[in-house]
A and B are shown apart, each in its own frame.
Chain A
Amino acid sequence: GAVVSQHPSRVICKSGTSVKIECRSLDFQATTMFWYRQFPKKSLMLMATSNEGSKATYEQGVEKDKFLINHASLTLSTLTVTSAHPEDSSFYICSARAGSTNEKLFFGSGTQLSVL
């Protein structure tokens, strides 16, 4: 079945540094990928929709200059948390769709970001 690979699985960084998270679709092309943030014991919050070859679409309240998204190819989207602060510490998950609009999503295994 379709697989989405997300790296790194865990990252610890100092406040003020930038962190890049990669999301790859391994055996299918994904023109659209999604980035979510999940707080402990909470649901997934959609941050942005990553579109191959064009700008990402951000959800209300998400700072686009803070969370930079690049979808340079049909199999790779990256999320860069710029100038990270402790409040950015969270579990970040990506997903990709392998078919039409409402087909099932395939999720990455998530990245636990801890900002000291």
Chain B
Amino acid sequence: AQKVTQAQTEISVVEKEDVTLDCVYETRDTTYYLFWYKQPPSGELVFLIRRNSFDEQNEISGRYSWNFQKSTSSFNFTITASQVVDSAVYFCALSEANTNAGKSTFGDGTTLTVKP
């Protein structure tokens, strides 16, 4: 069975601070996909990244970066120089290969509040 754990329920930082959101997953599959989504107060989930299990390269996109470590089953997300607009709920998700991404297992989410 798959499981995604986002241990941090809520995080509060001051603008310009760096913040890391943790994601730990469990799966028996050797091929799988990991996702991060952002859910702002408006409610719509926004796709941030997809990573397959064979690609352990870290990725940077502007102020966002992701650290994928299979050895610890973690896929952590860092926001550098946080901004108020980063305030949202962030979800980590896992789906097995050949399983529709819509059937992903989602973590419970981390609510990030960035204060001015």
Contacts and interface: CB of A to CB of B under 8 A. Distances in A.
Contacts of B104: 105
Given A43-B91, A43-B108, A102-B50, A110 B43 contact: yes
Contact of B102 (A43, A91, A105): A105
Interface bracket on B: 20 to 34
**A interface residue count range (under 10 / 10 to 19 / 20 to 34 / 35 or more):** 20 to 34
B100 A32 contact: yes
B106 A43 contact: yes
B43 A42 contact: no
A50 to B, nearest CB: 9
Contact of B101 (A93, A104, A109, A112): A104
Q: Secondary structure of the A side of the interface? A: strand
Contacts of A42: 108-109
A96 B101 CA distance: 10
A104 B50 contact: yes
A97 interface: yes
Contacts of B98: 101
Interface of B: 9, 33, 35, 37, 42-47, 50, 52, 91, 95, 97-104, 106-109, 111
7 contacts: A34-B103, A41-B108, A43-B107, A49-B102, A49-B103, A104-B101, A105-B101
